[in-house]
Amino acid sequence: MNIDLTGRTALVTGSTAGIGLAIATGLAAAGAKVVVNGRSRDRVDAAVASIPGEVTGIAADVATAEGAAQLVAELPDVDILINNTGIFAAAPVFEIPDEQWQRFFDTNVLSGVRLARHYTPRMIERGFGRVVFISSESAVQTPTEMVHYGMTKTAQLAVARGMAQAAAGTGVTVNSVLPGPTLTPGVEEFVRDLIGADIPFEEAERRFMAEARPTSLLGRLIRPEEVANLVVYVASELSSATSGAALRVDGGVAPTLIP
C-alpha cells in the first residue's frame, strides 16, 4: 500500500506537540503540503522546523471565533482538515464550574465545527476532501475523573457523523479517530501526577495502565506515531469508502464492539 498525498494541502490544528505533531509529520512524509497550527508563534515555528518536507505554520487560537477567522483568512482552502486541537484535565464532576464546561466545549468541539463549516463546502465544490476529528476512547466510555472532557469527545462523534451525512456522495469524507491513552507530554505529566514523580516513568506507565486503564489490550500507552498512521490513511484517497465512521486506535482499552 502506497499512500501518496502529493499535491494535497493539509491543516492540522493543535500540532506543535504530541499527537498533532506526529500527524503533521506523517502527512508531510506522505507528500502533503502541511500547515502546522498552535497558539504560540514560537512553538509553531519550532514545530515547522522539526518536520521534514513542505511545511508552514499559522499561529492562531482556533478555540476562539477570532482565531478561527484569522486562520481561514490566511489559509482559505485545504484538501485535508485534521481537527486535533484539544484540552483535558481531571476534575470532580460536581465541582466543574460553567466556565470550564464552556471552555472545554469551545476548544474541543466548536473549534472543529468552525473550521469544518468553512472548509468542507469548498472541498465539496472541488469533489475531494478529508475531514478528521481527533476524538478519544473517552467518547464511548466517559472517564469519571474527566466527565467534561468525555462529553466533548462524544459530541465530536455526533458532529462528524452528521457532517459526513451532509457530504454524502460528494467525494468528501468526514470521520472521527479515537485514540486511547497516548504518550504525549500532557499525558506523561498526568501519569506522573497520578502515580508519582519519584519512580521511573516506565514503572509509572505500567502501573497507570494496570490501575487506571486495566481493559487495555496493549498494556502500554500508545505512541503518537501509531495514531498518526491511521490518520494518514484516513486522509488519503485509499480511504474513499470510509465516511461517517468512528475509528478506534485505542489499544483495545474500550471494551466495546462498536465503534
Q: Give the active site residue among 149, 164, 173, 177.
A: 149
Question: Residue type for 118, please?
Answer: H
Q: Could you please report the per-residue DSSP string of 146-171?
A: GHHHHHHHHHHHHHHHHHHHHTTTTT
Closest by CA to 185, choosing from 66, 68, 43, 29, is 43
Place of cell 491543516: 11
149 noted as active-site residue: yes
CB 182 within 8 A of CB 227: yes
Give 222's DSSP letter: B
Q: Tell me how far apart the alpha carbons of residues 213 and 31 are, in angstroms, rounded to a whole number.
A: 36
**Which residues, 6 or more positions from 167, have their beta carbon under 8 angstroms from its beta carbon?**
120, 123, 124, 129, 173, 174, 243
Q: Partners of 222 in the beta sheet?
A: 182
Distance CA 29, CA 34 (A): 10
Report which of 69, 156, 59, 157 is spatially closest to residue 105, judged by C-alpha positions: 156
Cell representation of residue 140: 464511548
CB-based contact 190:143 (threshold 8 Å): no
Using only C-alpha atoms, the chain has a radius of gyration, in whole angstroms, of 18
The secondary element (H helix, E strand) that includes residue 113 is: helix 111-126
Q: Could you give the residue numbers annotated as active site?
A: 149
